Amino acid sequence: MDEIRFGKYNGTGNDFVLIEDVDDRLSLSPSLIAAICDRHTGVGADGLIRVAPADDADFFMDYSNADGEVAEMCGNGIRCLAKLVYERGLTTSDVIEVQTLAGRKRLVLDAEDGRVRSVTVDMGAPSLARADIGLAGDPGASFVGERMEALGRSYEATAVSMGNPHCVLFLDPGDDLGAFDVRPVGSHIEHLPAFANRTNVEFVVVEDGRIRLRVWERGSGETMACGTGACAALVASSLTGRCGREAEVEFPGGVLRVGWREDDHVFLTGPAVHVFDGELTEDWMRSVLAGAAR
């Protein structure tokens, strides 16, 4: 087992370990990925991205959440991938195509002097069909503006797929978003049997057309931001008359810009930050895998 080089990146505080594997040599087990993402004994991250080759795109984003489980898509992570491949010289184009488990995504890079300042991602069209969300019930029906009970409280909820499942909860006007305890509610809804593949959960307040939210990510817990969650929150807020089809979305980690265009595609714009590079040692990886095997 050789040492593995990695980069640490974040998009609006949502942080990732990125590993360049354009020769497609690496096979990372869920237990190793979880160990790398551990914030006490590993590098620490909300998820891990292996930058791999693709047959019909420039790159493939092989993404796993912090628990090691493979996930379909990550809007903040894909912007970090764009920064890595451009700044490392793996591409010279400011428009790239990235294959994901949620389909191919087109990214436009705002770059200057060899550095990427922000990235706009065509996230594709949202789906409201229960079948696409993995939500129990009539496969073709939607779940928009419905009541959802969780831990003794009722919420207005809308379920949206952005290639991965989201359950958007609208808090009451008097709720303090910053003080709201998202952990018990988020974990409860994530694991409801009605969601076949579990779900991400957004806690949303809309004020004067600006969306403020916190997010509980499936497999990672609360994170500083979520790109697909920002898109799901904009779609849900627009559908329920709380805002138009374009808004700034404010997370604890920063602000993203989201637009739901007339062609039904959602576009996400935000920064990507390179924090540091490092190396996973052979001894550390062997000890992690030996511990997982016991």
Residue 231 annotated among the catalytic residues of the structure: no
Whether residue 240 contacts residue 254, with contact meaning beta carbons closer than 8 Å, is answered with no
Catalytic residue chosen out of the listed positions 74, 167, 231, 243: 74
H or E element at residue 35: helix 30-37
Q: Rounded to an integer, what distance in angstroms lies between the CA atom of residue 105 and that of residue 99?
A: 6
Torsion over CA: 271, 277, 281, 282 (sign): positive
CA distance 42 to 39: 6
Task: Scan for tokens 């409280």, then name that residue.
Answer: 153
Helix (H, G, I), strand (E, B) or coil at 72: coil
Q: Where do we find the tokens 């294959």?
A: 99
Angle between helices 30-37 and 282-293 (to 10 degrees): 120
Catalytic residue (one of 37, 80, 167, 226): 226
Residues catalogued as catalytic: 74, 226
